[in-house]
Amino acid sequence: MEKIAIFFGPLNGSVHRVAKMVAEKIGPELVDLIHIGSASTSDLEKYSKIIFGISTIGKDTWQQKFDNNDWSKFFPAVSSFNFSGKRVAIFGLGDHITYAYHFVDSMGLLGKLIKNQGGEMFGKVSTEGYTFQDSEAIQEGMFIGLPVDEDFEPELTEERVSAWVNKLMTEF
C-alpha cells in the first residue's frame, strides 16, 4: 500500500499530538508525518493520499495580520497546488467554548482552498455530538473533516480519531 502523507502544523502541540495519533491508528509504517514548516509543493506531489492537520487561529489573529506562522507560510503552496487526482482529508483542532462562533474555521478555509484547486475531500464527519454556534468547516450539513477539541473535550479525542480513521480508510 502506498504511503499516506500527514501534513501538520504547528509543531510540538495538540495538532502534532493528534497527527501522531492518526498515524498510529492508520499504521505508522503506512504514514509519513511532515511538518508544514519545512514542506513545499514538491512534497505534496509525492503523495496521492494526503491528510492535513490544522488548528483554528484565535481572535487575535483574525484582528491582525500575522505572516510568521507555519500555516500562513504554507497556504500559498496549497493555494497554487493542483490537487486534481489527490484524495485529501483534514482534521482540525478547535475550542468550542472560547471560539464557539469560529469552531474549526481554519479547517473550512483549508478545505475550500483544496477544493478550489481540484482536490477530492474525504472523511466528512456529522455535526452530531458537537456543541458550537457556527463553523466555516460545515458543508452540506457535515464537517468537511474531523473536528477535535483538545482544550475542553480531550477525553473524546481518541474515540473520535479512531472512528474517523476507520471511516477514512474505507474511503481512501
In the chain, the number of structural domains is 1
User: Could you tell me the CA-to-CA distances from 91 to 21, 27, 43, 115, 131 in Å, in that order?
Assistant: 12, 17, 19, 15, 17
Residues 79-104 have a mean pLDDT of 94
| 6 pLDDT above the threshold of 80 | yes
**Range from 63-72, 78-87, 104-113, 130-139 carrying the lowest mean pLDDT:** 63-72
pLDDT for 75 equals 86
Separation of alpha carbons 69 and 71, rounded Å:
6
CATH number reported for the structural domain that contains residue 131 in this entry: 3.40.50.360
Q: What is the pLDDT of residue 56?
A: 81
| Site of grid cell 475531500 | 121
Single-letter amino acid, residue 86: K
pTM here is 0.93
Give yes or no for residue 8 having a pLDDT over 50: yes
The pLDDT of residue 60 is 44
- pLDDT higher than 70, residue 57: no
pLDDT for res 70 = 83
Residues 165, 22 contacting (CB under 8 angstroms):
yes
Write the secondary structure of 40-84 as one string of H (helix), E (strand) and C (coil).
CHHHHHCCCEEEEEEECCCHHHHHCCCCCCHHHHHHHHHHHCCCC
What's the rounded mean pLDDT across residues 76-100? 94
Encode pLDDT of 135-146 as tens digits: 999 999 999 999
Percentage of residues in the chain with pLDDT exceeding 90?
A: 83
Q: How confident is the model at residue 68 (pLDDT cuts 50, 70, 90)?
A: low
Confidence of residue 64 (pLDDT cuts 50, 70, 90): very low
Q: Which domain holds residue 109?
A: 4-171
Q: Is the dihedral of CA 134, 67, 145, 97 positive or negative?
A: negative
